[in-house]
Chain A
């Protein structure tokens, strides 16, 4: 068990001028479940692979506990990884796959078999121990990959989109299983995903990356309630937050028919006249003046309903209770609820101080 510390860690790829990971400073507490999330190419997998020792570090350092592992080969880092496509050894049985590390570590056979059996029992794989991976379903293969990681009792778990090859239903099931297993084992875990629902539901904290730069690292609630910039605001939450660009005058910002007053602190933090007003789909009051829009698309989910409303050339997303009687083409007026408004500087994208 150990903490993980990235200090100014930078990684370049050959032939690309922009670093894949740029000056990453991140501290993961002992036993924490940290999710790295971001769009494709944001550097989240590279971060994980640097920690595993599969990628070199061009600048900065990585520590696991007190050990500087920056230059250590993968086998000396005491990390276990679950790969996106599992990377099970096809010619070995499930038991051999799980026990391969222990075998290489020259653990006596009896003890090794006991450990493998324990891990298999935890993951419900006991009856498959003698099968080859080709004879397993996707979910079972995923569990074998997990088994290969947990049997080692490593100081850090690394998981690189381990659920992306599962079907939707199994993914939701496995999500909770992995999260509860991690809490039970109490092993520090870094988990990479591009799915923000996975990030929000599984992580103790979530680190959002974009273009190799860490945007924000906070608890799921913190990310959702106080996104530090426009990117995080738009990335976290589904459907995405409505981001309305407008300008500031002497009285405050005007969005739709609504005037939003600014505090002196907010006003002094602004670098220009432009401001972005963020309202989550559930942050609207319907039918009170404000934005006058036309309902364009109705998405009925049963429990919720999402309305996509056109106002000029922008589309506003609104969440209403399920089975509401909204129809396409109906006019709708929307006002942001007080307290549900996020304000960002349009030029820098940064969040303005809260009122």
Chain B
């Protein structure tokens, strides 16, 4: 210490409050702003905005009069609310499109088809991945190839065959729905079964479980996420399926929602009932949209399982 150093030692200042940064600094070298990134996020946001706009338009238009739809496409609905009948379009669509029976048919058909699809696909995927069956690899590939065949290309032969055995009706449609959903479902489920550790099966074998018991008590419950994903995706796909329904369903009493909507489209546009028509579209679309929103997280983790890690 030097002699000239006469200053009193500085008082300990009160400890400053540490404030963490709002956003931790990124790793050096990873640029936050790059032209490509800005471009990319712009495109994504535009796409999102476009979709939200369509949804908004659908929802508002389903409450509007045809005049409103064409003159004020992006305004909030007004006329039907003013006369005190806000759900008039929905009531009109429901009564005129035969949605009442169609909802029942669709729920039963889609519900049964998805459940049967998963009930067939899950044991199939288990056998293909875990039982060590000879040739299970090529067999899995054959199933996967089934996903790549566009069903539109085989629709005429299918119709010919099925009408010969008198299945050109809702029962035939059920068979087709199950058959067409199986490849994707098996493929999805194989990913899930493959991700389960071998030790679980071995532990079950030592615990005295038969292969059947191992499947139902140990392995199947662990693929619940996969089954929910498969059920939802199939339900959404089949709910909206129109082409096969148009080809195979002739009896109006057994129309599915999308098939009924197709008929209603002709009738409603002939009568310029665009409000009712859009309400009909909303009735068909919204249940699946809600289902997807509720289960979105599950579905996405289900689809990407096995992709990482």
A interface, CB within 8 angstroms of B: 52-54, 73-75, 79-81, 83-85, 87-91, 100-101, 104-105, 148
Contacts and interface: CB of A to CB of B under 8 A. Distances in A.
Contacts of A74: 202, 205-206
Nearest to A154: B206
A53 B205 CA distance: 9
Contact of B208 (A52, A54, A104): A104
Interface in B81-101: none
Contacts of B206: 52-54, 74-75, 79-81
Contact of A75 (B197, B199, B209): B209
Nearest to B207: A101
A54 B202 contact: yes
Contacts, number: 55
17 contacts: A53-B205, A54-B202, A74-B205, A74-B206, A75-B205, A75-B209, A75-B210, A81-B203, A81-B206, A85-B199, A87-B197, A88-B203, A89-B203, A91-B224, A100-B204, A100-B209, A104-B213
Contacts of A100: 204, 207, 209, 217
A87 B222 CA distance: 13
A83 B208 contact: no
Interface string B178-212: 00000000000000000001011011111111100
B244 to A, nearest CB: 37
A91 B207 CA distance: 16
Contacts of B217: 100
B221 interface: yes
Interface centre among B200, B210, B222 (most CB of A within 10 A): B200
Contacts of A52: 202, 206
Interface centre among A75, A79, A105 (most CB of B within 10 A): A75
Nearest to A73: B205
Contacts of B210: 75
Interface residues of B, number: 18
A104 B221 contact: no
Contacts of A53: 205-206
Nearest to B196: A90
Interface of B: 197, 199-200, 202-210, 213, 217-218, 221-222, 224
A73 B210 CA distance: 10
Contacts of A101: 207-208
> Per DSSP, are chain A's interface residues mostly helix, strand or loop, or mixed?
loop
A85 B207 CA distance: 16
A42 to B, nearest CB: 20
A83 B207 contact: no
Contact of B222 (A75, A80, A84, A91): A91
Nearest to A84: B199
A74 B204 CA distance: 10
Contact of A87 (B200, B213, B221, B224): B200
A279 B175 CA distance: 78
Given A87-B197, A91-B221, A91-B222, A104 B207 contact: yes
Report, nearest first, the 9 A-B pairs whose CB atoms are least far apart. Answer: A87-B199, A75-B208, A87-B203, A101-B207, A74-B205, A91-B221, A104-B208, A83-B199, A74-B206
A104 B200 CA distance: 16
Given A81-B203, A85-B199, A90 B222 contact: yes
B161 to A, nearest CB: 43
B298 to A, nearest CB: 16
Interface centre among B202, B206, B224 (most CB of A within 10 A): B206
Contacts of A85: 197, 199
Contacts of B213: 104
Contacts of B218: 89
Contact of B202 (A80, A87, A105): A87
A88 B224 CA distance: 17
B208 A105 contact: yes
Nearest to A99: B207
Contacts of A89: 200, 203-204, 218
Interface centre among A54, A79, A87 (most CB of B within 10 A): A87
A96 to B, nearest CB: 10
Contacts of A73: 205
